[in-house]
Amino acid sequence: MDEQSAGVLPMLRLMARDAWLDHLAQVPLFAECDKRQLQQVAAAAVEVSIEAGKVLVREGEPGHECFVIVTGSATVTRDGATVANLGPGAVVGELAPLTGGVRTATVTADSAMEVLVIAQREFNGLIEEVPGFAVQLLRNLAARMTDES
């Protein structure tokens, strides 16, 4: 690697990180977060590719993480009936890490997807340390409760 290339790599990494933070800022769950908080979210999340047809979460099984859809789409079923179709920005499975309970629905990838996975420990850490995340999470849960009643 020559000297010029060595100087370009850190700049490319910085640009990629900034683009990643800009992308996170467009996700409704993170809309209330400032740049520092978005950096905390990015550090807590792992991006994973999911194949079409794969089940992300299965109703009745224990859940220890939540997912944020970055690209692609998924179908939510409860007791075998379709209850929702989800796309980019949607949050999946956020109740189980909060309650330590089981999944309330099955979510299946309709297409190839990129998702952010936030494990229970990191999820709880974000709730404690990132007020914007906690506020938006409460709004999402309240909206879901209103929709289901």
Tens-digit pLDDT profile for residues 61-100: 999 999 989 889 999 999 999 999 999 988 888 888 888 8
Task: Tell me, rounded to whole angstroms, the distance of Cα 54 from its chain centroid.
Answer: 17
Q: Where are the alpha helices (DSSP H) in the chain?
A: 3-25, 35-44, 95-99, 120-129, 131-148
Residue 4, pLDDT score: 45
Higher pLDDT, 92 or 5: 92
Rounded distance, CA 61 to CA 57, Å? Answer: 8
Separate counts of helices (H) and strands (E) for the chain: 5, 8
Amino acid at site 124: N
Mean pLDDT of 10-28: 65
| pLDDT above 60 (res 146) | yes
* pLDDT-derived band at 16, boundaries 50, 70, 90: low
| pLDDT above 70 (res 134) | yes
Residue 148, pLDDT score: 66
> How many Cβ atoms sit within 10 Å of the Cβ of residue 23?
16
Nearest to 24 by CA among 56, 74, 70: 70
Residue 17, pLDDT score: 64
Higher pLDDT, 1 or 25: 25
Half-sphere exposure of residue 7: CA atoms within 13 angstroms, side-chain side: 3
* pLDDT-derived band at 60, boundaries 50, 70, 90: very high
Nearest to 49 by CA among 96, 115, 102: 115
Percent of the chain topping pLDDT 70: 87
| Domains of the chain by start residue, with CATH | 3-148 (2.60.120.10)
What's the mean per-residue pLDDT of the chain?
83
